[in-house]
Amino acid sequence: MDGIFDMLILGAGPAGISAALTAHARGRSALVLSSDPMNTPLARAPRIDNYPGLPGMSGRELLAAMGESLEEQGISRVTGRATAVAPFGGTFMVSAEQDVYRARTLILAVGAQQGAKPFPGEAELLGRGVSYCATCDGMLYRGKRVAVLGLGAAGEKDAAFLERVGCQVLYLGPTQAKKCEIKGTDRVTGLVADGEEYPVEGVFILRDTVAASVLLPGLAMEGGHITVGADMAASVPGVFAAGDCTGRPYQIARAVGQGNIAALAADAYMRKEQEKQK
Amino acid sequence: MSVLELTKDNFDQTVGTGTSLVDFWAVWCGPCKMQSPIVDAFAEKRPDIQVCKVNVDEQPELAMRFGVMSIPTLMVFRDGALVNKTVGLSDIDEIERLCQ
């Protein structure tokens, strides 16, 4: 954990990048943390015609161009999946894999999958065999049978990691993992996929994004979206949200605008906090 | 109050009297690195509670004995008996509630 950033931005889509550029323009240090943005719905858009100034671009091209703006401004960027957030001493700590980052404010620009329906048994058995973090919990399953539901880009990599540490891995890719049920009362005892039950002691559910409500328990949500005010402030002081994670319409122009507002509001929040301390 | 590192040899004796908070952790776990300073701050705040850590990598017997399946896991013992447990990252208020 080296240094405290002013703003830690989760997500490198239009909202996150817009927030980072605004933070930088305001003289604030920003870190953008995200999984691969090329594995998002936007990256699959063949052509975007309603975003000004960049005619005829595909989603991939637009994301690449936005990423270049970050590089051009020298803004720090890290690829990784945030697995937990903790407020601590007026800052926020965020863990991604084995690393921890720290910032004064948090901007959630994590995209629209917040409403992703949990599997039957997922919430009940979380921490009792269900895990979202292979690098955290893998070692506790050495020599045991585990299932990996590889719903995101990192699924295969994490399955390989679990095999390396000595787990017996049943890997289900994005299509096979769609309809699963996790079995167990006190702890995980099995996984049902495609009508067949596999005896396993652990189930690693690896989505590209851990839902905001799981990252920050107590964060106010509505209909799978993060509740925000006009200044993009979420229900937890110091936390802001922007883009598709705050609701419909899922549009690039809206996300960029909200990212800008969120960073300005985070800047104002930090100034106020500084005033208080004087 | 300083935080005690527990092993299978000193565990029972240490948590045997009074109230103890035990943080099960490992170096490879990012959320555990966040839990650690919070637990340290709690130890400062509540000198009446014995605050301990168990490195699950070095003490697999303890992890197995208490069925630790996900880290960080926090457990509260009173006179040696497990009275409360939570899995996943906890802030200082949650730890306070856990120890009530």
| Cα end-to-end span (Å), chain B | 18
pLDDT in tens, chain A (278 residues): 458 999 999 999 999 999 999 999 999 999 999 988 888 889 999 999 999 999 999 999 999 999 999 999 999 999 998 988 999 888 999 999 889 999 999 999 999 865 567 899 998 998 899 998 898 899 999 999 999 999 877 789 899 999 999 999 999 998 888 889 999 999 999 999 988 999 999 999 988 888 888 888 889 999 889 999 999 999 999 999 999 999 999 999 999 999 999 999 999 999 999 999 88
CA distances from A45 to A48, A60, A88 (A): 7, 8, 39
Q: What are residue A193's DSSP bridge partners?
A: A180, A196
A5-115+210-277 has which fold?
FAD/NAD(P)-binding domain (3.50.50)
Residue of A nearest to B63 (CA): A140
The verdict on A67 touching B (C-beta cutoff 8 Å) is: no
Determine if the pTM surpasses 0.95.
no
Is it true that domain B4-98 has CATH number 3.10.20.30? Answer: no
Instruction: Tell me the one-letter amino acid at A215.
Output: L
What is the structure's pLDDT at B61? Answer: 94
Q: Which of A84, A128, A131 sits opposite B34 (nearest CB)?
A: A84
What is the structure's pLDDT at A1? Answer: 44
Q: What is the DSSP string of A118-161?
A: PPTTTTTTBTTTEES-HHHHGGGGTTSEEEEEE-STTHHHHHHH
Q: What whole-number distance in Å separates Cα of residue A155 and Cα of residue A146?
A: 13
Q: What are residue A205's DSSP bridge partners?
A: A149
**Do A136 and B67 count as a contact with CB atoms less than 8 A apart?**
no
Looking at domain A130-206, its CATH class is alpha beta
Is residue A135 within 8 A of residue A234, CB to CB? The reply is: no
Q: What whole-number distance in Å separates Cα of residue A129 and Cα of residue B18?
A: 31
Q: Where are the domains of chain A?
A: 5-115+210-277, 130-206
Q: Which residues of A touch B26 (CB under 8 A)?
A: 136, 139
CA distance, residue A260 to nearest chain B CA (Å): 29
Q: What are residue A102's DSSP bridge partners?
A: A93
What is the structure's pLDDT at A115? Answer: 54
Average pLDDT, chain B: 94
**The complex's ipTM?**
0.81
What is the structure's pLDDT at A39? Answer: 83
Known catalytic residue at B32: yes
Q: Do domains A5-115+210-277 and A130-206 have the same CATH topology?
A: yes
**Do B88 and A140 count as a contact with CB atoms less than 8 A apart?**
no
- A 126-165 → B contacts, CB under 8 A: 126-129, 131, 133, 135-137, 139-141
Q: What is the pLDDT of residues B23-75, one digit of tens each?
A: 999 998 989 999 999 999 999 999 999 999 999 999 999 999 999 999 999 99
